Amino acid sequence: MVQSEENSTRPQRWSARQKTEEVLRLLRGEDLEEVSREIQVPAHVLEDWRRVFLQSGSRGLRRSGRDPSERELVRTRAKVGELAMKLELAEHLLEKRGYGEDLKRLLRSRDL
Protein backbone atom coordinates (compact mmCIF):
# COMPACT_ATOMS: atom_id res chain seq x y z
CA MET A 1 0.00 0.00 0.00
CA VAL A 2 1.48 3.35 -1.07
CA GLN A 3 0.93 6.32 1.19
CA SER A 4 -0.10 9.51 -0.59
CA GLU A 5 1.81 12.76 -0.11
CA GLU A 6 -1.19 14.22 1.76
CA ASN A 7 -1.09 11.32 4.26
CA SER A 8 2.64 11.75 4.87
CA THR A 9 2.20 15.39 5.93
CA ARG A 10 -0.45 14.61 8.54
CA PRO A 11 0.92 15.29 12.04
CA GLN A 12 1.48 12.28 14.28
CA ARG A 13 0.48 14.42 17.27
CA TRP A 14 -1.65 17.51 17.10
CA SER A 15 -0.55 20.61 19.00
CA ALA A 16 -3.10 22.76 20.81
CA ARG A 17 -2.66 25.41 18.09
CA GLN A 18 -3.37 22.89 15.31
CA LYS A 19 -6.41 21.49 17.12
CA THR A 20 -7.70 25.02 17.69
CA GLU A 21 -7.38 25.81 13.97
CA GLU A 22 -9.41 22.73 13.03
CA VAL A 23 -12.06 23.42 15.70
CA LEU A 24 -12.39 27.00 14.46
CA ARG A 25 -13.06 25.64 10.96
CA LEU A 26 -15.96 23.65 12.41
CA LEU A 27 -17.24 26.66 14.34
CA ARG A 28 -17.16 28.71 11.13
CA GLY A 29 -19.57 26.21 9.62
CA GLU A 30 -17.39 23.75 7.69
CA ASP A 31 -18.85 20.26 7.52
CA LEU A 32 -17.56 17.89 10.20
CA GLU A 33 -17.30 14.91 7.85
CA GLU A 34 -15.41 16.91 5.20
CA VAL A 35 -12.91 18.27 7.72
CA SER A 36 -12.54 14.79 9.20
CA ARG A 37 -11.72 13.26 5.81
CA GLU A 38 -9.40 16.11 4.83
CA ILE A 39 -7.25 16.01 7.95
CA GLN A 40 -7.69 12.24 8.48
CA VAL A 41 -8.94 12.52 12.03
CA PRO A 42 -12.07 10.57 13.03
CA ALA A 43 -15.20 12.70 13.35
CA HIS A 44 -15.70 11.67 16.98
CA VAL A 45 -12.22 12.97 17.81
CA LEU A 46 -13.03 16.30 16.16
CA GLU A 47 -16.25 16.40 18.17
CA ASP A 48 -14.22 15.86 21.35
CA TRP A 49 -11.83 18.68 20.39
CA ARG A 50 -14.78 20.98 19.74
CA ARG A 51 -16.43 20.07 23.06
CA VAL A 52 -13.21 20.64 25.02
CA PHE A 53 -12.55 23.89 23.18
CA LEU A 54 -16.02 25.22 23.93
CA GLN A 55 -15.65 24.26 27.58
CA SER A 56 -12.21 25.73 28.16
CA GLY A 57 -10.93 27.42 25.02
CA SER A 58 -7.61 26.51 23.45
CA ARG A 59 -6.03 26.05 26.89
CA GLY A 60 -8.09 22.87 27.30
CA LEU A 61 -6.56 21.34 24.18
CA ARG A 62 -3.02 21.47 25.55
CA ARG A 63 -1.62 18.27 26.95
CA SER A 64 -1.13 19.62 30.45
CA GLY A 65 -4.17 21.91 30.44
CA ARG A 66 -2.96 23.51 33.67
CA ASP A 67 -1.53 26.88 34.52
CA PRO A 68 1.90 27.02 36.21
CA SER A 69 0.51 27.56 39.72
CA GLU A 70 -1.77 24.52 39.34
CA ARG A 71 1.17 22.39 38.12
CA GLU A 72 3.21 23.55 41.13
CA LEU A 73 0.36 22.60 43.46
CA VAL A 74 0.21 19.11 41.93
CA ARG A 75 4.00 18.72 42.30
CA THR A 76 3.84 19.91 45.91
CA ARG A 77 1.04 17.49 46.77
CA ALA A 78 3.03 14.65 45.19
CA LYS A 79 6.08 15.61 47.26
CA VAL A 80 4.03 15.73 50.48
CA GLY A 81 2.65 12.28 49.66
CA GLU A 82 6.15 10.95 49.01
CA LEU A 83 7.45 12.37 52.31
CA ALA A 84 4.47 10.98 54.24
CA MET A 85 5.15 7.54 52.78
CA LYS A 86 8.85 7.77 53.74
CA LEU A 87 7.89 8.79 57.28
CA GLU A 88 5.49 5.87 57.55
CA LEU A 89 8.17 3.46 56.33
CA ALA A 90 10.70 4.91 58.78
CA GLU A 91 8.21 4.52 61.66
CA HIS A 92 7.54 0.92 60.62
CA LEU A 93 11.27 0.19 60.48
CA LEU A 94 11.83 1.72 63.94
CA GLU A 95 9.01 -0.40 65.38
CA LYS A 96 10.41 -3.51 63.69
CA ARG A 97 13.84 -2.87 65.22
CA GLY A 98 12.41 -2.52 68.71
CA TYR A 99 12.11 1.24 69.02
CA GLY A 100 8.31 1.32 68.89
CA GLU A 101 7.85 2.48 72.48
CA ASP A 102 10.49 5.20 72.11
CA LEU A 103 8.79 6.39 68.93
CA LYS A 104 5.35 6.50 70.61
CA ARG A 105 6.78 8.43 73.57
CA LEU A 106 8.46 10.91 71.19
CA LEU A 107 5.26 11.39 69.19
CA ARG A 108 3.21 11.94 72.39
CA SER A 109 5.65 14.55 73.69
CA ARG A 110 5.55 16.38 70.36
CA ASP A 111 1.73 16.60 70.47
CA LEU A 112 1.81 18.49 73.76
The parent domain of residue 98 ranges over: 68-111
Q: Is the pLDDT of residue 106 over 70?
A: yes
* Residues 16 and 57 both lie in one domain: yes
* Residues 49 and 72 both lie in one domain: no
With respect to residue 47, please indicate whether it lies within any of the assigned structural domains.
Answer: yes
With respect to residue 6, please indicate whether it lies within any of the assigned structural domains.
Answer: no
With respect to residue 88, please indicate whether it lies within any of the assigned structural domains.
Answer: yes
* Residues 57 and 16 both lie in one domain: yes
* Residues 45 and 29 both lie in one domain: yes
pTM recorded for the entire structure? 0.46
What pLDDT is attached to residue 1? 40
Q: How far is Cα 91 from Cα 104, in angstroms, rounded to an integer?
A: 10
How many structural domains is the chain composed of?
2
- Tell me whether residue 13 is exposed, middle or buried, using C-beta atoms within 10 angstroms of its C-beta: 0 to 12, 13 to 18, 19 or more: exposed
Q: How far is Cα 80 from Cα 54, in angstroms, rounded to an integer?
A: 35
With respect to residue 35, please indicate whether it lies within any of the assigned structural domains.
Answer: yes
Q: Model confidence over 31-70: pLDDT tens digits?
A: 999 999 999 999 999 999 998 888 886 666 666 556 778 8
